[in-house]
Structure 1
Amino acid sequence: MFIELNDRVYINLNKITRIKIDEVQDGIRVRFYEGNDQVAKSQRFESVKEAKEWIKNKLLG
């Protein structure tokens, strides 16, 4: 099942093995992995709570 990550990127959720919320230099991002390889990342969030809400709305809809 493909979902729209943003206006230019779609990801195949059937291949995603792990989703991780990471705090990086420019803020908090949701990262998507196939096995050990990162295949996509979300926009920047101000808090982990915002990132979790985004995941709930986007993926669990």
Structure 2
Amino acid sequence: MYIKLNDRVYLNKDRITRIKVDDVQDGIRIRFYEGANQVAKSGKFPTIEEAQKWVDENFCSQI
């Protein structure tokens, strides 16, 4: 199943093995990994809570 990350990027949920919410210099981003390799990162979120809510809505609702 694919998730729309932004206007140009779709992620295959079945291949994502790890999701990390990072508070980096330029803002809060979600990083997506297949094994040890980072395959995508999200746009910026204003708060960690909003980033976590996005993850919960798009990845945890199917569990």
TM-score, length-scaled by structure 2 = 0.86
Q: Structure 1 vs Structure 2: percent identity of aligned residues?
A: 57
User: What SS does the corresponding residue of 1:45 show, helix, strand or coil?
Assistant: coil
**How many residues get paired?**
61
CA RMSD of aligned residues (A): 1.1
In 2, Cα distance between equivalents of 1:29 and 1:40: 10
1:25 aligns with 2:22: no
Matches within 5 A, 1:5-16: 5-16=5-16
Taking structure 1 as the reference length, what is the TM-score of the superposition?
Answer: 0.89
User: Which consecutive unaligned segments of at least 5 residues does structure 1 have?
Assistant: none
Kindly state the Cα deviation for residue 6 of structure 1 after the two structures are TM-superposed.
0.9
